[in-house]
Amino acid sequence: MAEATIGTAPPARVGQGYPWILIGLLWVVAFLNAADRSILIAVMPQLRTEFGLSDTELALLSSVFFWVYAAGAFFLGRAGDSIRRTRVVLYGLIFWSIATGASSLATGFALLLAMRGLVAVGESAYYPTATALIGDWHKPEMRSRALSIHQTAVFAGAGLGSVGAGFIADRLSWHAPFLMFGTFGLFYAFFIWRFLRDAPIVHTKAEAGKGREPIGVVLRIPPAVMLCGIFALGTGASTGVTVWAPTYVHDTLGLDLTNSALWGAATINIAGFLSVPVGGLLADTLAKRTPIGRFYTLAIGLGLAGLLLLPLLLADTALEIGLVLIATSLAKGLFDGCIYAAMQDVVPPDARATAVGMMTMIGFIGAGITPIFVAQAGAAMGMAGGIVSLAALYFVAVAIILSMRGPTRRAAIANAQPA
């Protein structure tokens, strides 16, 4: 095994099962990452009432989070290729947990907006570096499955986090879930700080040598740049649905916060939780047949997600809305199950955290735009029409993936050759 690149430390002696222990440790961190950001979605109706906010202002609370997250992911993703990845993960968890708890002290829209920005800074440290760390420990033939199991935590955290936050807020106030979730995050950080281990990195022929700038490496790989755009389209579409679905259910059907989160958020995340491992398995299976098998999985998932979102225009009961959200989210989960492994197919190990950071930056810029777009479109054509219009983003993404098959194949073959 090659020497560790700068920024990693040779791991302490660990058992052969440690790569999967790592998945378990990081699964909880990813759960908290998603749960903490989902609190806001569940309590939006209470915030609207307490602070007298418009739909556009509510959307801005989510959009500012995503835009700050986008900038943070770029810089902290780069840090994940320069310093110990485990420390980036741990310090990020501590920072965003403190900021989540402090959000409970917000007394107005401006302060709440600032707190959301601080939560975003801390959370942005996690995913680029964590996915690179998982890639360091897991072999290519198992990488999609390892990353997809880790990805299930996002859906579990978002689903249970939103329902839990709604339940707590219904019985106490919107302040309480922020304080409770943030406190738990700090306790978990204390628990895991001695268990996370960095791994040495195996180099490939695609690397030109040590000391090169990872940002430049990524920018010279057309499929990697393409994935940044694809992630923006797919994440933008799904975020627009996720942010507004609970409030749409609340306003359309008159349900309380707990049931609005159940039908408008838990449905999305339960479906994603179930389908993400399927996406990982499908991607690993197709990758054995073709170097771009994971990219075909991306296209299948996004195409189906767009088609299955369209029936929302005809749904007018909680069950019908829930079924549409489940169907489109099952399809989107296929995409989520292999997007990070697809990036690792074309980007060498010494630039993977940077690549995911760049992809997250572009993707979350899009994720910040779509909630505002849905709010504006909803005023003109109804909220259902605004949400369904996001299907167009899925279809554009599929067209781009299929048009880039040649360059993607060449990049994947080059990156698979060992040094």
Contact 165, 38 (CB under 8 A): yes
- pLDDT band at 80, cuts 50/70/90? low
Contacts of 40 (CB under 8 A, 6+ apart): 47, 61, 62, 65, 116
We find that the CATH architecture of domain 18-195+213-416 is Up-down Bundle (1.20)
Contact 99, 122 (CB under 8 A): yes
- pLDDT band at 72, cuts 50/70/90? confident
Q: Where are the beta strands (DSSP E) in 83-203?
A: none
Number of other residues whose CB lies within 10 A of the CB of residue 173: 14
pLDDT at residue number 212: 66
- Per DSSP, the residues of 238-277 read HHHHHHHHHHHHHHHH---HHHHHIIIIIHHHHHHHHHHH
- pLDDT band at 397, cuts 50/70/90? very high
**Integer Cα distance of 349 and 220 in angstroms:** 15
Residue with tokens 């993607």: 408
pLDDT at residue number 105: 83
Classify the phi-psi angles of 5: left when phi > 0, otherwise alpha if psi is within -120 to 50, otherwise beta: beta
- pLDDT band at 299, cuts 50/70/90? very high
**Integer Cα distance of 373 and 199 in angstroms:** 42
**Is pLDDT above 60 for 103?**
yes
From residue 173, alpha-carbon distances to 39, 42, 217, 330 in Å are 12, 12, 48, 32
pLDDT at residue number 357: 82
Domain ranges of the chain: 18-195+213-416
Backbone angles phi, psi at 404, to 5 degrees: -105, 20
In terms of Cα–Cα distance, which of 336, 333, 325 is closest to 260? 325
Radius of gyration of the chain measured on its C-alpha atoms: 20
- pLDDT band at 13, cuts 50/70/90? low
Which amino acid would we find at residue 191? Answer: F
Residue 54, token pair as written in the block: 């418009």
Beta bridge partners of 204: 418
Q: Three-class SS of residue 174?
A: coil
Beta bridge partners of 291: none
pLDDT at residue number 4: 37
**Is pLDDT above 90 for 311?**
yes
pLDDT tens-digit profile of 150-173?
Answer: 888 888 888 788 778 888 888 788
pLDDT at residue number 167: 83
**Is pLDDT above 70 for 54?**
yes
Q: Three-class SS of residue 173?
A: coil
Which H helix or E strand runs over 5? none
**Integer Cα distance of 415 and 176 in angstroms:** 48
**Integer Cα distance of 307 and 142 in angstroms:** 30
Lowest mean pLDDT, pick from 3-17, 122-136, 222-236, 296-310: 3-17
Number of other residues whose CB lies within 10 A of the CB of residue 285: 12
Mean pLDDT of 358-369: 83
Number of other residues whose CB lies within 10 A of the CB of residue 82: 15
**Integer Cα distance of 92 and 87 in angstroms:** 8
pLDDT at residue number 2: 34
Contacts of 213 (CB under 8 A, 6+ apart): none
pLDDT at residue number 28: 94
pLDDT tens-digit profile of 183-221?
Answer: 999 999 989 888 888 776 554 444 444 556 777 888 899
